[in-house]
Amino acid sequence: MTEILASTRNVLGTGSSRASRKAGFIPAVGYGGKRVETFHVEVDRKSIEALYAKGALFNTKISLKIDEVDPVHVVVKDVALHPVQDSITHVDFYVLKNEGNCVKVPVRFVGTAKCVGLKRAGFLHVATRYLTVNCNVDNIPTSIDIDISDTQIGDVIKASNISLPNGCDIAPSSRNKVIASILGKG
């Protein structure tokens, strides 16, 4: 679990958010889980951007220590990016519950070297790189590996057909989602 220090934002609005960014922080909001009320904080820019650069921002459990008090366990639910600089301007945190957490997990494709469809001049068309799953706080996977070694040209990989780690279920909104397909002349 990654630990990130945060401080409470008492003044809200555009001006205070700009001042936070100028000082090297990112304004953030937290909601959901056991915590009843929404909380506004600012977090260190380097900590969040390091997770963003690794590609593990949405499924990393974060221990958010607000004002040196007891930590709150969260995951990043959403980020706002600057339209030109591609830097993070705002973060939404979701407070984790013991059960039934809905998180975005990256999808990785394994077995591409043995894939019959790719060997026959097909190509892998990736429709989505993340899959939304429901899982317990202890079972959040770092990624979902999909073996495509037995796929042919014209095959479609759907979320409902993949195997997930123990304790994880596909979220209802993602059950019929197409993850990838093998395209080419058949």
One digit per residue, the tens of pLDDT, for the chain of length 186 reads: 789 999 999 889 999 999 999 999 999 999 886 656 889 999 999 999 988 888 778 878 889 999 888 888 888 889 999 999 888 999 999 888 877 788 888 899 999 888 888 888 888 999 998 888 888 888 888 889 999 998 999 999 999 888 888 888 898 888 889 999 999 875
Sign of the CA dihedral running 96, 98, 102, 105: positive
Domain boundary, last residue among 95, 121, 154: 95
Domain boundary, last residue among 80, 95, 110: 95
With beta carbons less than 8 A apart as the criterion, state whether 31 and 21 touch. no
Full-model pTM: 0.78
CA 167 to chain centre: 18
Which structural domain, as residue segments, surrounds residue 68? 2-95
Same domain as 108, residue 89 = no
Same domain as 87, residue 106 = no
Provide the CATH number for the domain around residue 13: 2.40.240.10
